[in-house]
């Protein structure tokens, strides 16, 4: 078997981990990772150890789905205790850096009163030395600007935190990624390698191009036991779908949540890839249905359900480039996706509003993204306008219609869209659900609940369509597909506000002769 030409089996998945917590941008980018480790993950582990049974019970309560509870059986509490001890020991520098950020912010609040900030530099905690600049905005509000490229070269960014687990998709929902660390398991292969390790690229390219076990053993630096586990993940035949390419016209496929695959015979574009590996399910497109080469992956924003390392790592080596929006540079709430992905070994193109990226036979234009980020000063978000095979497609993700005149400017600049894909998660989670670890000043529950991760409601979605003038509208990015549960933890029923709003919008479209739909599972458009 060592020299046979082999393919990776369809159901193989990877879970990228950072100190055993699931990796997403705010646990990889060093400033935000330090804050989340110190002020969210360590307290979460401590809370679990005080009452494991409470965490497990809460994790299995449908009404608390998506809450910050660790779903690890009480008999494994000693392993969680060891994890916490290792974090406090091995990540002490990161924890001190997070504390220094909080102290630096407090220093500014107490002393930055509109006068010269130079005297404050010597008073900053030493952990911040050379890594921040103090500045006022034009309203005399002081802030620290983090020098992100420098911080990636410092001890704050530690690749030793990274590892991956390889296993098979079982169809059983995995624990919620934001709360439950992944402990070792007999059915999981542990690889203590960073995400940028070239061996991972070699492994996942074997979905479309065969290789040998010997090659993978060398590429991944496996011992004999590990090589034996990898051998069980290989097959003599590929699992690829015969219709993954097209030979004429254009095609769009909905792969679930916010993932669209746009194709012509010459090119393929994928938005926010979050793709199932369960090829036996039969009710969805999977990794087997992707084209062999993807010219561009476009990422709309840095939330964990739109930039999904679990999928992206499996595509590295098959991507021309990942297109990401430009961040605001050094803002605590707005890490650079470009820096983060480049440090994981991805080719990246960074865009601002109305920047264009060409691909064979078409182009992508970055367009503005409004709202959805709890009113935080986050610039790293973009919608996209795709032009291919004679159609114009607006990829709207979770952008809101709170100011519909924005979309009038888009139409003036780019023309009329043929199809619009809109997110209508219009009653999203509150500010503290996703950003608690970054807040150095407490906010009240009432304040947090007023600032939500919400897309458009029916009225706002209708306003977007009115301004864009599109002929077709499709609601997506609702997190409804069951295979997304470990990331989304979304629970809807027929009386849920979001679904009522979707129905209201679809009725609005029908009354105006606009072709519309509420996407779920899979769908295909051909022209």
pLDDT, tens only, 151-209: 999 999 999 999 999 999 999 999 999 999 999 999 999 999 999 999 999 999 999 99
Whether 244 is covered by a domain: the verdict is: no
Last residue of a domain, one of 202, 235, 268: 235
Whether 202 is covered by a domain: the verdict is: yes
Residues 331 and 467 both lie in one domain:
yes
Q: What is the pLDDT of residues 326-366, one digit of tens each?
A: 999 899 999 999 999 999 999 999 999 999 999 999 999 99
Residues 111 and 79 both lie in one domain:
no
Q: What is the pLDDT of residues 459-480, one digit of tens each?
A: 999 999 999 999 999 999 999 9
Residue indicated by tokens 């059983």? 172
Residues 31 and 63 both lie in one domain:
yes
Q: What is the pLDDT of residues 131-152, one digit of tens each?
A: 999 999 999 999 999 999 999 9
Q: At what angle do helices 42-50 and 52-59 cross, to 10 degrees?
A: 110
Whether 242 is covered by a domain: the verdict is: no
Helix (H/G/I), strand (E/B), else coil: 431: helix
For residue 320, the domain's CATH number is 3.60.15.10
Q: How confident is the model at residue 2 (pLDDT cuts 50, 70, 90)?
A: confident
Contact between 33 and 94 (Cβ < 8 Å): yes
Domain range holding 146?
Answer: 92-151
Residues 255 and 342 both lie in one domain:
yes
Measure the CA–CA gap between 192 and 177, rounded to whole angstroms: 19
Last residue of a domain, one of 151, 166, 192: 151
Look at the chain and report how many structural domains it folds into: 3
Helix (H/G/I), strand (E/B), else coil: 422: strand
Q: At what angle do helices 198-205 and 213-220 cross, to 10 degrees?
A: 160
Residues 135 and 193 both lie in one domain:
no
Measure the CA–CA gap between 165 and 152, rounded to whole angstroms: 24
Contact between 248 and 343 (Cβ < 8 Å): no
Measure the CA–CA gap between 199 and 479, rounded to whole angstroms: 32
For 8, the enclosing helix (H) or strand (E) is strand 7-8
Is the model's pLDDT at 406 over the cut of 80? yes
| pTM for the model | 0.96
The pLDDT, as a whole number, for residue 241 is: 97
Residues 131 and 65 both lie in one domain:
no
Whether 408 is covered by a domain: the verdict is: yes
Q: Which of 308, 293, 292, 312 is nearest to 258 (CA)?
A: 308
The pLDDT, as a whole number, for residue 386 is: 98
User: Quick one: tokens of 126?
Assistant: 């030493």
Residues 398 and 464 both lie in one domain:
yes
Whether 1 is covered by a domain: the verdict is: no
Contact between 389 and 249 (Cβ < 8 Å): yes
């Amino acid at each position: 078997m060592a020299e046979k030409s082999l393919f990776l089996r369809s159901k193989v998945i990877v879970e990228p981990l950072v100190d055993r917590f699931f990796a997403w941008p705010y646990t990889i980018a060093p400033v935000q990772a330090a804050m989340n480790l110190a002020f969210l993950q360590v307290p979460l582990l401590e809370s679990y150890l005080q009452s494991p049974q409470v965490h497990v019970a809460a994790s299995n309560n449908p009404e608390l789905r998506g809450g910050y509870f660790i779903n690890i059986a009480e008999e494994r509490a000693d392993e969680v205790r060891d994890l916490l001890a290792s974090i406090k020991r091995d990540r002490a520098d990161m924890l001190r850096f997070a504390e220094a950020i909080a102290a630096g912010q407090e220093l500014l609040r107490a002393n930055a009163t509109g006068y010269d900030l130079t005297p404050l530099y010597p008073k900053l905690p030493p952990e911040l030395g050379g890594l921040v600049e103090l500045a006022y905005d034009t309203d005399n509000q002081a802030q620290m600007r983090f020098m992100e490229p420098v911080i990636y070269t410092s001890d704050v960014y530690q690749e030793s935190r990274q590892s991956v687990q390889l296993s098979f998709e079982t169809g059983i929902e995995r624990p919620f990624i934001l709360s439950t660390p992944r402990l070792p398991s007999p059915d999981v292969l542990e690889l203590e390698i960073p995400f940028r390790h070239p061996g991972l690229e070699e492994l996942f390219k074997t979905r479309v191009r065969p290789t040998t076990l010997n090659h993978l053993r060398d590429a991944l630096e496996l011992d004999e036991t590990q090589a034996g586990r990898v051998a069980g993940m290989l097959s003599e035949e590929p699992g690829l779908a015969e219709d993954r390419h097209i030979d004429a016209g254009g095609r769009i496929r909905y792969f679930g949540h916010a993932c669209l695959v746009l194709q012509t015979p010459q090119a393929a574009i994928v938005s926010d890839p979050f793709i199932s590996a369960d090829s036996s399910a039969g009710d969805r497109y999977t990794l087997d249905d992707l084209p062999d080469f993807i010219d561009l992956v476009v990422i709309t924003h840095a939330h964990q359900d739109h930039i999904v390392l679990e999928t992206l790592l499996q595509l590295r080596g098959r991507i021309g480039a990942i297109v990401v929006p430009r961040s605001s540079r050094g803002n605590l709430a707005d890490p650079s996706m470009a820096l983060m992905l480049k440090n994981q070994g991805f080719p990246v193109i960074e865009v601002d509003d109305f920047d264009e990226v060409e691909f064979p036979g078409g182009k992508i234009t970055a367009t503005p993204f409004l709202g959805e980020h709890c009113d935080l000063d986050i610039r790293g978000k973009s919608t996209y306008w795709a032009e291919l095979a004679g159609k114009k497609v607006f990829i709207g993700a979770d952008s809101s219609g709170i100011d519909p005149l924005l979309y009038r400017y888009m139409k003036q600049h780019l023309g009329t869209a043929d199809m619009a894909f809109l997110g209508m998660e219009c009653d999203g989670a509150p500010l503290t659900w996703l950003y608690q670890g970054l807040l150095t000043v407490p906010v009240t529950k009432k304040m947090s609940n007023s600032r939500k991760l919400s897309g458009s409601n029916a009225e706002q979605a209708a306003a977007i369509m009115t301004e864009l003038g599109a002929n077709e509208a499709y609601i997506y990015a609702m997190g409804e597909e069951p295979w997304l549960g470990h990331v989304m933890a979304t629970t809807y029923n027929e009386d849920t506000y979001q679904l009522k709003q979707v129905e209201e919008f679809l009725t609005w479209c029908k009354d105006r002769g606009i072709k519309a739909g509420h996407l779920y599972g899979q769908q295909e458009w051909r022209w």
